[in-house]
Chains A and B, each alone.
Chain A
Amino acid sequence: MSQFVINMLFVGASFALYFGIAVWARAGSTKEFYVAGGGVHPVTNGMATAADWMSAASFISMAGLIAAGGYANSTFLMGWTGGYVLLAMLLAPYLRKFGKFTVPDFIGDRFYSNGARLAAVVCLIIICVTYVIGQMAGAGVAFSRFLEVSNSTGIWIAAGVVFCYAVFGGMKGITYTQVAQYVVLIIAYTIPAVFISLQLTGNPIPMFGMFSEHTESGVPLLQKLNEVVAGLGFTDYTADVTNKLNMVLFTMSLMIGTAGLPHVIIRFFTVPKVADARWSAGWTLIFIALLYLTAPAVASMARLNLMTTIYPQGVEAPALAYEERPEWVKNWEKTGLITWEDKNSDGRVQLYNDAAPAFTPTAETRGWKGNELTVNNDILVLANPEIANLPGWVIGLIAAGAIAAALSTAAGLLLAISSAVSHDLIKTLINPKISEKNEMRAARISMAIAILLATWLGLNPPGFAAQVVALAFGIAAATLFPALMMGIFSKRVNDKGAIAGMLVGLVFTVVYIFLYLGWFFIPGTATFANTPDNWMFGISPLSIGTVGAVINFAVAYAVSLATVAPPKEIQELVESVRTPKGAGGALSH
Chain B
Amino acid sequence: MFAKSKMTKIEDWLWEIPRSYRDDMRVPARVYASSRMLDQIATDRSLEQLVNVATLPGISGYALSMPDIHEGYGFPVGGVAAFDAEDGVISPGGIGYDINCGVRLLAADVPVDAIRSQLGELGKALYREVPSGVGRGGRLNLNDEDLDRVLEGGARRVVELGYGDEGDLQRIESQGTLPQAEAELVSPHAKSRGRDQLGTMGAGNHFVEVGVVESIYDPAEAERLGLWLGQATVLIHTGSRGLGHQVATDYIREMGRVMPRYKISLPDPELACTPFTSPEGQKYFQAMSAGANFAWANRQLITWEVRQAWQQVQGAAGGGLRLVYDVAHNIAKIEEYRMGPASKRMVIHRKGATRSFPGQPVLVPGSMGTRSFLLVGQEKAMLESFGSSCHGAGRRMSRTRAKKEVQGGELKKRLEAQGITVNVGKLSGLAEEAPEAYKDVDEVVDVIHRAGIAKKVAHFRPVAVIKG
B and A form one assembly: no
